[in-house]
Amino acid sequence: MKPILVLPLALACAFGVSPAAAGGQFIGSVVLTPAGCESLDECMLGQDFGYLDKRGVGWQAKKDDKTDGASIPKWAQMFAGDPWTPDYLKAAVLHDHYSKSVRPVRGWYETQRMFYEALLDSGVSTKKAAMLFSGVLIGSGKWIVKMKGRKCPIGDVCVTNVVELSTETENPSFGEPDYEASLKRLQAAIDAAGELDEDAIRALALDERPDSQYLKHPGGIIKVDLEQWPFATPEQ
């Protein structure tokens, strides 16, 4: 295999590499090691690989990152393709890097949205991209920050003086019976629909998980006031 030049994201920007008008732009190519690792369902990246999304935000998977390809249930592969389908790999390795980190540096929904947009920029059809996006929305690991502060007198939802920050997480549910049943319903809804935008796909996922605090708060932050907390309300 010929060596492939990969520009770090900062250098790529310096040399004028920027997101295309219709979407984002990949930097470098996905190289999997060792040879034949796909048959073992786990590979490592042979070099760094990057993506500049359409907002100009950079995402980079690192050399030696582990990936299992796109997390597609066996039954779904008949319509979505093999997990190692080349068109899925770019999005999958980036998603693995950012969603499996022990210290997530981006919001959970921002990470899933990047996966969806990277699929589209890889040439995946809108229907398949919608299906895979809905799958990670309900099945991928999630994290959210809860900010708790004292209520202030301006309006009903104003808080000030944040006194506690906590991160809550949800483990992946790929492969669980409830997940696969939900994904089948999502596939049927997506197949029956016309063109679906990002918000419409998230709405379908929320229909499947109506109590999910993560899907209800795609910004990744929940602000909670302290009216019920056991200490005095600040002076008005």
Count of all residues that appear for the chain in the document = 236
Residue 50 and residue 25: Cα distance in Å, rounded?
Answer: 9
Residue with tokens 């520009």: 7
What pLDDT score was predicted for residue 109? Answer: 95
What pLDDT score was predicted for residue 116? Answer: 95
| Angle subtended at Cα 67 by Cα 61 and Cα 70, rounded to the nearest 5 degrees | 105
Segments in the chain below pLDDT 50: 1-22, 75, 228-236
Domain assignments of the chain as residue spans, ordered by start = 9-225
Burial (Cβ within 10 Å: 0-12, 13-18, ≥19) of residue 5: exposed
Model pLDDT for residues 184-196, shown as the tens digit of each residue? 999 999 999 988 9
What pLDDT score was predicted for residue 137? Answer: 95
Choose among 68, 72, 99: nearest CA to 170: 99
Tokens read off for 64:
């030696």
What pLDDT score was predicted for residue 216? Answer: 93
What pLDDT score was predicted for residue 186? Answer: 94
Residue 43 near residue 32 (C-beta atoms within 8 A) = yes
What pLDDT score was predicted for residue 9? Answer: 38
What pLDDT score was predicted for residue 79? Answer: 54
Residue 83 and residue 101: Cα distance in Å, rounded?
Answer: 20
What pLDDT score was predicted for residue 200? Answer: 96
Tokens read off for 232:
């005095």
Q: In what order do the strands lie in the sheet with 159-170?
A: 159-170, 142-151, 221-225
Residue with tokens 């990277």: 118
Tokens read off for 49:
């690989």
pTM here is 0.78
Q: In what order do the strands lie in the sheet with 58-61?
A: 25-27, 49-52, 58-61
Residue 196 and residue 203: Cα distance in Å, rounded?
Answer: 10
